[in-house]
Amino acid sequence: MHANSLVKQLLDVKGVIVNDIFISKDEIVVDVKLARSKLACPKCC
């Protein structure tokens, strides 16, 4: 399994792309961006 897929499953987030993951002794930082180029109304989708 790729790191991108693993992080998305662990965080249970949809509609994002994981750009980078930083792991240190005390924390994990995940850099994400929206998968869509434009924002959309959640009621319209």
Q: Which pLDDT does position 45 carry in this prediction?
A: 60
Q: Which pLDDT does position 1 carry in this prediction?
A: 60
Q: Are 30 and 21 in contact (CB under 8 A)?
A: yes
For the segment 1-45, what is each residue's pLDDT rounded down to a tens digit? Answer: 677 777 778 888 778 888 888 889 999 898 988 887 777 777 876
Query: Which residues are 23's β-sheet partners?
Result: 28
Q: Which pLDDT does position 34 carry in this prediction?
A: 84
Phi, psi for residue 4 in degrees, rounded to 5: -60, -50
**What are the distances in angstroms from CA 43 to CA 12, 21, 32, 34?**
20, 31, 23, 18
Q: Which pLDDT does position 37 carry in this prediction?
A: 78
State pTM to two decimals. 0.58
Q: Which pLDDT does position 38 carry in this prediction?
A: 77
